[in-house]
Structure 1
Amino acid sequence: MLHATTPAHVKRQQFRERLESGELLRFPGAFNPLSARLIERKGFDGVYISGAVLSADLGLPDIGLTTLTEVAGRAAQIARTTELPAIVDADTGFGETMNVARTIQILEDAGLAGCHIEDQVNPKRCGHLDGKEVVDEETALKRIRAARDARRDENFLIMARTDIRAVAGLDAAIERIQRLVDAGADAVFPEAMRNLDEFRAVVRAVDVPVLANMTEFGKSDLFTVDELREAGIRMVIWPVSLLRMAMGAAERALDTLIADGNLSGQLDSMQHRADLYDLLDYETYNQFDSGIYNFHITKE
């Protein structure tokens, strides 16, 4: 009720223990707190909070327009409602080294289990668009060092994302990833890998967990969990999938309203009110109210 019962530092510890076990962890992207709760109920391992989703939620393109305050606030709302660890997209750290350090501490305070910092220039753009630019190696390394030095909970995951594959090729990506790990990254996120062999090459090159981004309509094929597990991947995200599904359903519903004037033919596609109330745990709230407000007003 109200908030998750597991404290943030415990979520982080449990997450790091599972990550170190070698299993592949599945992190669908939540587009709001309610969808995070559904992700938990369906038995997934964690919740991912996408910068592209947060931008879209504000009616903005994913080009670095969101602020740290906006991202941390929405991420906190999502993280508080689930017992699962939540990882957030922190873009380029919302500035350079001092800004990155502040970002890490604010995200820790917001209850997140970790974040990733990327090596694009400011303003950044979606990782699967053409025309990206990355910063020089020293700037990228400074961001990760600043993140590592700023965290107060050693279990807060510092993940380094690199977009250099699309700019300079796989060899350059592997070289940069290795340097980012040397700088203190706990995990790596190689963006826009072309195939499983490229993922395997990254896995062989480092001794930290590697994340795979399975976003639709992007540069990477949509590999299955089993295929990624076989390639040595330890985390997989589907960052925008639930938002895309929800918006697709919303558009179809609006078209139906225009065509038919009502949605009676779409009821089977909707979440039933009873299922929503169950997901929100209405019964617990009702019991809480009954236990506190147990007086009766009578007329004398």
Structure 2
Amino acid sequence: MLYSQVTAAEKRRLFRERLNTGELLRFPGAFNPLSARLIEQKGFEGVYISGAVLSADLGLPDIGLTTLTEVAGRGKQIARMTDLPTLIDADTGFGEPMNVARTVQEMEDAGLSGMHIEDQINPKRCGHLDGKSVVDESTALKRIRAAVDARRDENFLIMARTDIAAVDGLQAAIDRAKALVDAGADAIFPEAMHSLEHFEAVVNAVDVPVLANMTEFGKSELFSAQQLADVGIRIAIWPVSMLRISMGATGRALDELNTAGHLTGKLDEMQHRADLYDLIDYEAYNHFDTSVFNFRVER
């Protein structure tokens, strides 16, 4: 009932423990708190919270327009609804190194299990668009050092994302990944890798977990979880997939409503009311107060 009974500190501890096993952890992207609960119900290992999704949820492009307050607030709403660890996209840290430090503590207070900070300049661009620019290495390292120095829970994961491969190539990404690890990054997110061999090269170059971004319609081929595991990837994210599928289905339903005037033909595509009530644990509220829930839903 209400929120997860697992504390944020315990989620982080368990996340680190499982990450250390070497298995691939699958983190589909949640676009709201309810979808995070569905991700947990379906047996995944974690929940990803995408900056692109948070921007899109506000009707904005993913170019650094969201604020720390908006991102941390939405992250808190999602993280508290699931027992799973949550990894959030913190863009460039919302400012200079001191802002990055504050961002880490806000995300800790919001109950997140980890965050990643990228090395793009402000305003940033979606990682799979052309025309990106990255900061110099010194600035990138200062962001990570500030994040590491600011955290209070040692199990809060500080992940460094680098977009430099799209600018200067794979070797530049490997060199920067090594430097980011030396600066204290707990994990590396090499954005827009073109092949499994590129992912494997980064994995072999660093001694921390590496994340693979399996976003559709981007620069990377959509590899299977097993393919990624075979080259040593430790976290895989599908950041915008669930939003894309949901918006696609919504668009088709609106077309049907326009043409047919009703949605009778779409009933088998909908989440049943009974399934929704099960997902939000409606009946548990009955044990707390029978005046809240005193009926049953027929399937």
- Please name the residue that 1:85 is paired with: 85
TM-score, with structure 1 as normaliser: 0.97
| Higher alpha-carbon Rg | 1
> d(CA) in 2 for partners of 1:20 and 1:31?
27
- Please name the residue that 2:236 is paired with: 236
> d(CA) in 2 for partners of 1:286 and 1:178?
54
> d(CA) in 1 for partners of 2:34 and 2:271?
12
> d(CA) in 2 for partners of 1:291 and 1:243?
35
- Please name the residue that 2:132 is paired with: 132
Alignment of 1:288-299 (within 5 A): 288-290=288-290
Q: CA RMSD in A?
A: 1.1
- Please name the residue that 1:271 is paired with: 271
**Amino acid in structure 1 at the alignment position of 2:282:** Y
Matched, 1:101 2:101: yes
Alignment of 1:1-300 (within 5 A): 1-290=1-290
Contact 2:73 2:110 in 1 (8 A): yes
> d(CA) in 2 for partners of 1:144 and 1:292?
47
Contact 2:285 2:292 in 1 (8 A): no
Give per-residue Cα distances to partners, 1:81-104, cap 9 Å, x unaligned.
Answer: 000000000000000100000000
**Amino acid in structure 2 at the alignment position of 1:207:** D
Deviation at 1:290, TM superposition (A): 3.0
Aligned length: 293
> d(CA) in 1 for partners of 2:112 and 2:178?
25
> d(CA) in 2 for partners of 1:86 and 1:203?
22
TM-score, with structure 2 as normaliser: 0.97
Give per-residue Cα distances to partners, 1:161-196, cap 9 Å, x unaligned.
Answer: 000000000000000000000000000000000000
Secondary structure of the residue that 1:290 maps to in structure 2? Answer: coil
> d(CA) in 2 for partners of 1:202 and 1:223?
16
Give per-residue Cα distances to partners, 1:92-148, cap 9 Å, x unaligned.
Answer: 000010000000000000000000000000000100000000000000000000000
Give per-residue Cα distances to partners, 1:231-282, cap 9 Å, x unaligned.
Answer: 1000000000000000000000000000000000000000000000000101
> d(CA) in 1 for partners of 2:51 and 2:255?
28
Deviation at 1:287, TM superposition (A): 1.2
- Please name the residue that 2:297 is paired with: none
Secondary structure of the residue that 1:76 maps to in structure 2? Answer: helix
Contact 2:286 2:292 in 1 (8 A): no
Structure 2 unaligned residues grouped into runs of 5+: 294-299
Secondary structure of the residue that 1:115 maps to in structure 2? Answer: strand
> d(CA) in 1 for partners of 2:185 and 2:252?
43
Deviation at 1:286, TM superposition (A): 1.2
Moved over 4 A (4+): none
**Amino acid in structure 2 at the alignment position of 1:139:** T
**Amino acid in structure 2 at the alignment position of 1:189:** F
Give per-residue Cα distances to partners, 1:39-93, cap 9 Å, x unaligned.
Answer: 0000000000000000000000000000000000000000000000000000000
**Amino acid in structure 1 at the alignment position of 2:81:** T
Contact 2:64 2:91 in 1 (8 A): yes
Deviation at 1:292, TM superposition (A): 11
**Amino acid in structure 2 at the alignment position of 1:64:** G
- Please name the residue that 1:297 is paired with: none
> d(CA) in 1 for partners of 2:20 and 2:183?
19
Secondary structure of the residue that 2:289 maps to in structure 1? Answer: helix
Deviation at 1:291, TM superposition (A): 9.5
> d(CA) in 1 for partners of 2:292 and 2:51?
41
